Structure 1
C-alpha cells in the first residue's frame, strides 16, 4: 500500500520551499524597478498557500517512506515544481503559451539550459533571476535539499536520496543521510558564492555575476545575455567559468574530500582521474584542428575556445563562447559525440556519466581476457573494490535504454517534420541535459521554432535524462504498482 498522506505532506513542504525561493527575485525586481514583482509575489503566494494547506492538513502519522514512495515523491515533486515554477513566466508574459512555460521551466529545473526565449535581455530582472534560481534548485536536486533542511518530516531520507540520485556510485560522506545532504549543500552553496565573487572580480556587474554563479555551479548554462558568455569577450571570465564548470562536473564527494584536505581519498577515485585526464586529452587533440579550421590567428584563443566548449559540453553546462558547428563537419561530429559523455556521478551534471563509461570499457576489456581464459575468475574493480554483477547489469541496461530513447526520440521529432540533424541534436542535448546541439539547435540557436507538442515531448525527455531514466520509466511498469 502506498502512503499517499506522507507523499502529500512532503509535497506541501516542497511547495512552501519553492515559494520562499521566489522571494529573492522579488527583491531584484524592486531594486531594478523592472515591474515583475507582482507576478513573482502572486506565484509565491499561490505556491505557499497550497503547500501550507497540504502540509498542515495532513497528519504526521503513517509517514514511513519506502522505496516505492521515494520514486513517486521524486516524480510528483518534479511535476509540481514545473507546474508552480512556470507561474512567474506565464503571469509576467515572459512566455506566451503553456508549452513554452513548461519547456523553459523544465529546462531550468533539469539544468538543461535550452531556451525558447528569443531575446533574453528584454526579460525583466526578477524573472531572469528566477530563471537562474530554478537551475540552482535543480542542481543537486530539490529532494536532497529538502531532506537536508526538513528533518521534521520524519521520513526515511535514504529512499528519497537514492531515487533522486540513482547513479551507480555508493560513496557516502556520513552514515546519516541528512548529514550527507547537508554537507553536499554546504559545498554547493560555498562554491556558488565563490564563483559569484570571481565573476564579479572578472568584470561582470553584481546581477550578472550572481546569475552566472548560480547557473555555472548547477551546470545549467542559462545566461542573462543573448550571446551567453561570448557577450563579454573576456578571457578572464571564460577561465573563471572553465574552472567552476570543471568543479561542478566533479563528484561532490570527491570535492568534499579535497576541500577537507583528504587528497588521497579524492585522488583514489578512478572516475575523477578518468574525468581529468580525458578532458586534458580531448582539449590537446582538438586545439590545433580548431585553430586551423576556425581561421583564428591567436593560438591561445583557439586553445581557450576548445577548452571552454569541451568542458561546457562534457559537464553539460551549455555555456557558449564560439559556434563549434562552423569549424568543420568532422569537428562538429566530435563535439556532438561529447554530448554522450556526461561528467561525474554525484555531480550536478547530466548525461551518461564517466563512471558508467569507465565500467563499460573496463568490463569490455576484461571480457577479452575471459575469452582467452574461460575458467579464470576475472573481477572488475573500480576504486580498488570489486563491482558486483548486479551493478554491471544495471549499467549495461542503462546504456542500452539510453541509446534506445535517443533513437526513438529522434524518430518522433523527425516525424513531426524536422530534419534528421536537428532531430538528433534536439534529443541528444535534451536527454543529456546539455543545451546546445547540432542542426537548428546549435550553440547560437534556440528551441522557439518547435511546435507545442515537440516542446512538451522534449520536456519529458529532459526529465528522463535528469532523473536517469529508471526513476521515471519504472512508474510505467505494472510491477511498480503491484508491489507489496
Structure 2
C-alpha cells in the first residue's frame, strides 16, 4: 500500500510525456544508421525500420498527454530520467537482435546500455564482423549518451522551462549543474552547440590524418561521448599512427573538462577558467600521472618519448573514462596499474561527458577531511569549505558524502554478485569498477585486449544496472527502489 501511494503521487502525465519525446528522438536518431544501411548495402533495413515504428507508435501518443499539474518535483525528474534511459536502452538493443549480429537479447542489451552510458564495455569477440549500420549505431549511442538525450529533449521540447531543472540535474554528471544563461532551454542549446562543434572538428582532424571517413565518424562519437567503442578488433592501436593517438588523446582530455569552461572562453571570461580549482586539479593530475607512468614503463619501450606516448593515451582514456586502448596495460608494472585503477575511480570533471566520481567531488571530500582534522586540533575554529572563492554549503557537502557512501556500497554489492562467476580477484573487482565508473576496460579477463563475453548472464545484468547507476549517478535508478522502503521516523531534538 505504501509503495502504491508513492507511485500514485508521481506526476505521471509529465513523466509519460517526457518519455514520449525521448522515444520520438530515438526514432529520429535510428534513421542515421538506417541511412548507413542503404549506403553500404547491409540488407538490414527491417532491423531499423521496426524499432523506428515502435518508437514512433509509442512515443507520439505519449507526447500528446497533457498535464493539469505543470510543476515537476525532484522525484518526478529523477523517475523520468531513470525510466527514460531504461526504455531507450531496451528499444535501442533491437537492431542488434533483429539483424542477428548479436542474437542474444541480454548480450545486445548489455552492449546497448554500455553504449548509451558511454561505458564501452563489450561482449563482442569479433567487432569487425558487424555490419556498417550496427557499427555506426553502436558508436552513435556513445555520442547520444555523452551529453545526455534528455538535455537534447529539453532544448527542443515545446514549453520546456526552468521547472524542468530537476531533469537536467538528474542527468548531468557532477555534484552541481548551473545555468549558463537565465533560460534552461538556451543553456541546453549552448551545451549541444559546443558538443557538436568539437565533434565536427575531431572528425575532420581524424580524416585529415588518414583515417577513413566512416572510421573517423565512429571514433569521434566514441571520443566525444568518452565511450570507447572502436570498430576495429585491435582498437585505436590498430591504426599504428602517432598523429591519431595524439589527436584522440587531446580530445579525450578536452571532453573531460566541464563544458561551462568552453562557454566562459567564448564569452572571453578567461579568469573564470584559470581560477577554476577543478580544472587546475584535473590538468595537474593528468600531467603528474603521465610522467609517473612513463618513468615506470620506459624500459618496456624503445625510448622515453614512446613510453610518454602510451602513458599519455592511457591516462587520458582512463581518467576521462573513454576506454580506448593502444596497448595492453595488463602487462605494465603494478605501480602503473594501480595509478590507472585510482584514475578509474576518480573520473573526469563535473559537467563533462566523462564518468567516475568526478574531480570536484574528490576536491570537496579532501577539503572536508582537512577541515575536520583542523577542528580536532582547534575545536573553536570557525571555517567553511570553499571552491573557486565561493562557500560550499553544508547541504552540498552532505550530498557528496552520501553519494560517495552509496557509490561504494553499491559497488561492493555488485562485486559480491559478480564473484559467483569465480574469476580472479583482479577481474572481479575491476570489472565492476569499470562498469559503475563507465570506464569500459578493467584488468584481467576484461582488460583492454579482452571483453565481457565470458561473464554469466546474471553478471551481465548486474553490470548493466551498474552502468546505468554510474552514468545517472545513482539516484535516478535508486529511486525505483526507494518506494519499497518504509520511511524512517526521525525524533525531534528537545
Residue from 40, 57, 77 that aligns with 1:32 = 40
**Quick one: which of 243, 259, 276 aligns to 1:236?**
243
Cα deviation 1:103-134 (Å, max 9, x = unaligned): 00100010000011111111000111111111
Q: Which residue of 1 aligns with 2:224?
A: 217
For 2:444 and 2:398, how far apart are their aligned partners in 1?
A: 34
Offset of residue 171 of structure 1:
3.3
Shift of 1:346: 0.4
| Aligned equivalent of 1:107 | 114
Q: Tell whether 2:409 aligns with 1:383.
A: no
What is the match of residue 85 of structure 1?
Answer: 92
What is the DSSP-based 3-state SS (H/G/I as helix, E as strand, rest coil) of the residue aligned with 2:372?
helix
Alpha-carbon distance in 1 for matches of 2:342, 2:306:
23
Whether 2:366 is the aligned partner of 1:358: answer: no
Q: For residue 270 of structure 2, what is the aligned residue in structure 1?
A: 263
Using the size of structure 2 for normalisation, the TM-score is: 0.94
Decide whether the 8 Å contact of 1:410 with 1:420 is kept in 2.
no
Is structure 2 residue 289 aligned with structure 1 residue 282?
yes
Corresponding residue for residue 492 of structure 2? none
Residues 14-65 of structure 1: per-residue CA shift (max 9 Å, x gap)? 1111000011111111111122233112221221122113223x23543432
Asked if 1:301 is matched to 2:306, the reply is yes
Instruction: Provide Cα deviations, 1:71-104, integer angstroms capped at 9, x if missing partner.
Output: 1110110111011101111111121211101100
Please report how far the alpha carbon of residue 210 of structure 1 lies from its aligned counterpart in structure 2 after TM superposition.
0.7
Indicate the residue corresponding to 1:20 in structure 2.
28
Match of 1:345 among 347, 350, 357: 350
Question: What is the total number of aligned residue pairs between the two structures?
Answer: 480
Give the direction of change, closer, same or farther, for the CA distance of 1:169–1:31 in structure 2 (3 Å limit).
same
- Structure 1: runs of 5 or more not aligned: none
2:187 equivalent to 1:195: no
Structure 1 equivalent of residue 211 of structure 2: 204
Q: Is residue 67 of structure 1 aligned with residue 74 of structure 2?
A: yes
Query: So what's the TM-score if we normalise by structure 1?
Result: 0.96
Q: Which runs of 5+ in 2 are unaligned?
A: 1-8, 489-494
Q: Is the 8 A contact 2:173 2:355 kept in 1?
A: no
Aligned CA RMSD, in angstroms, stands at: 1.7
Contact 1:64 1:155 in 2 (8 A): no
- Residue number in structure 1 paired with 2:403: 398
Classify the secondary structure of the residue corresponding to 1:340: helix
Contact 2:174 2:349 in 1 (8 A): no
Secondary structure of 2:174's partner?
coil
Q: Residue 156 of structure 1 aligns to a residue in which SS?
A: helix
- Alpha-carbon contact 1:103-1:455 (below 8 Å) kept: yes
> Is the Cα contact below 8 Å between 2:296 and 2:335 reproduced in 1?
no
Match of 1:442 among 441, 447, 468: 447
1:177 aligns with 2:184: yes
CA-CA distance at 1:155 after TM superposition: 8.1
Q: Distance in 2 between matches of 1:159 and 1:329?
A: 42
- Quote the residue 1:411 is aligned against: 416
> Offset of 1:335 from its aligned partner?
1.8
Q: What SS does the corresponding residue of 2:88 show, helix, strand or coil?
A: helix
Distance 1:182 1:481, change over 3 A: farther
The SS at the match of 1:151 is coil
CA contact (8 A) 1:35 1:124 kept: no
Secondary structure at 2:228 match in 1: coil
| Residue pair 1:63, 1:155 contacting (<8 A) in 2 also | no
